[in-house]
Amino acid sequence: MMSARHFKFFPPAVTVLITLMFLFTTANLGTNILAQEEDEDENGAEVAYIEDINEDGETDVSDAIALLLRGLEDPDDPEADYNGDGEFNVLDVVSLLINIRNGNLTPLPTFPLIGRVLESGQGLAGVEFSIVSSKGFYTRVASDTAGMFRVDSLREGTYVVQPIIRTYYYTVNPDSITVTIEGDSVIVPDFQATLAAYTMSGRILVDSTGLAEVTVSIKGIDLDTTLVTDANGKFRIENLLNARYAVVPQKTDYTFTPFSLSVEVHGDSVIVPDIKAAPVSPVTPGGPSIPTLYKLGGRIYCTVQPLINVTMVLIGDKEASTVTDANGFYMFLVPNGEYTIFGIPIPTLQVFNPTSTTVTVKGADITNVDFYGFGAGGGVEGL
């Protein structure tokens, strides 16, 4: 039920709306509105005005209606008291309209947001940060040679500050920081960058027993090497970057599940899930033969640029995963069967065309299962 206070206000409110229509039809406000939209502060940022009640980037009759509705909803809302006389009434709506009509607009106060990113106590340059407000404002800024970043002309509100890492060589913590601007500038707590140097370890088992002397191929950014498992079936490699790596075990007379897998390293060392090995049964006269393996693969690219370090997943009669190399190529070795291949983009905002491809391997290699990536880049190296 509408309160008595609301009821008393309503007749003048109707009068105000009629007045609004009259003023906006007898005065050419298009020029004023256009000029307001083009206003910029000394830093080139678009100026926002107190009169923009509905926050749509324009000052027009819709703001007067928004103020009217706000006051009707809560007459004690301090933001509804536009003329500052201590209460909300018809004069607030009229004052707002007249000021918009005459171009007497008051810029909203804005404040700077300042932060820095450090690596071993020293500023790290070139790290991008996204600044996102709860109302949808979005911008980006990069740290300078001292590791400092700054965004001016931010309105009051809550913002999420997040590092955008376009490099395989650093991890930045925390992942994000939320700050609130309230009547003053804000200094964001320091972000800490760590040079990537992580370890990957795992083991290969037959049942529950480690399998020795398995050759393990590991490929990824700046890496193409092989390891050999020890007497307990364990392998370990150090000094890895923030990247995805293809792990492929090989040993004569053994099959492996999975026969290849993609392992992601990001901000910490990784233990690979156990890889299961099984001895191949000896071939007996008249018995089943060991299946022939065929190449199944292709290339991932964006325009003319190969997309590197993209995880490609194989499902179907066999399951596996791998990563694209420096030229954007990937490859599986599979027996005859039906398989579906899809990619995991870097970053996830990117998409691939097609999203997946299903092929049948039947006695021949298939090496043209290509994907085209578009969107927010992929496999980008930075700092």
- Residue 158 and residue 139 in contact, taking contact as beta carbons nearer than 8 Å: no
CATH number at 147 reads: 2.60.40.10
**77/151 same-domain check:** no
| Highest mean pLDDT out of 31-35, 82-86, 221-225, 374-378 | 221-225
- Pick the residue with more confidence: 87 or 230? 230
The closest alpha carbon to 258, from 246, 242, 269, 271, belongs to: 246
CA distance 325 to 222: 10
Q: What is the DSSP letter of 135?
A: T
The closest alpha carbon to 255, from 274, 283, 275, 271, belongs to: 275
Q: Which residues neighbour 337 within 8 Å (Cβ) at sequence distance 6 or greater?
A: 316, 317, 318, 360, 361
Is it the case that residue 26 has pLDDT exceeding 70?
Answer: no
**236/304 same-domain check:** no
> For residue 286, what pLDDT band results from cuts at 50, 70 and 90?
low
Helix (H, G, I), strand (E, B) or coil at 129: strand
Q: How many domains does the chain have?
A: 4
Is it the case that residue 354 has pLDDT exceeding 90?
Answer: yes
- Pick the residue with more confidence: 44 or 260? 260
Helix (H, G, I), strand (E, B) or coil at 108: coil
Is it the case that residue 366 has pLDDT exceeding 80?
Answer: yes
Q: What percentage of the chain carries pLDDT values higher than 90? A: 54
Q: What is the pLDDT of residue 118?
A: 97
Is it the case that residue 78 has pLDDT exceeding 50?
Answer: yes
Is it the case that residue 4 has pLDDT exceeding 60?
Answer: no
Mean pLDDT of the chain: 84
**277/228 same-domain check:** yes
- Pick the residue with more confidence: 339 or 50? 339
**305/374 same-domain check:** yes
**317/353 same-domain check:** yes
Give me the DSSP letters along 29-79. Answer: -HHHHHHHHH-B-TTSPBPPBTT-TT-SS--SHHHHHHHHHHHHH-TT-GG
**75/158 same-domain check:** no
Mean pLDDT of 310-337: 94
CA distance 329 to 309: 10
> For residue 373, what pLDDT band results from cuts at 50, 70 and 90?
confident
**85/148 same-domain check:** no
Q: What is the DSSP letter of 107?
A: B
- Pick the residue with more confidence: 28 or 180? 180
Structure-token match 């065309």, residue found: 353
Q: What is the pLDDT of residue 187?
A: 96
- Residue 193 and residue 200 in contact, taking contact as beta carbons nearer than 8 Å: no
**224/283 same-domain check:** yes
Single residue among 267, 290, 313 that ends a domain in this structure: 290
Mean pLDDT of 279-296: 76
Mean pLDDT of 329-357: 88
Single residue among 248, 263, 290 that ends a domain in this structure: 290
pLDDT digits (tens, 9 = 90+) for 113-154: 999 999 999 999 999 999 998 877 789 999 999 999 999 888
Structural domain of 359: 291-383
CA distance 193 to 6: 56
Structure-token match 């400092």, residue found: 148
Q: What is the pLDDT of residue 2?
A: 44
> For residue 22, what pLDDT band results from cuts at 50, 70 and 90?
low
**313/339 same-domain check:** yes
> For residue 54, what pLDDT band results from cuts at 50, 70 and 90?
confident
Single residue among 175, 195, 215 that ends a domain in this structure: 195
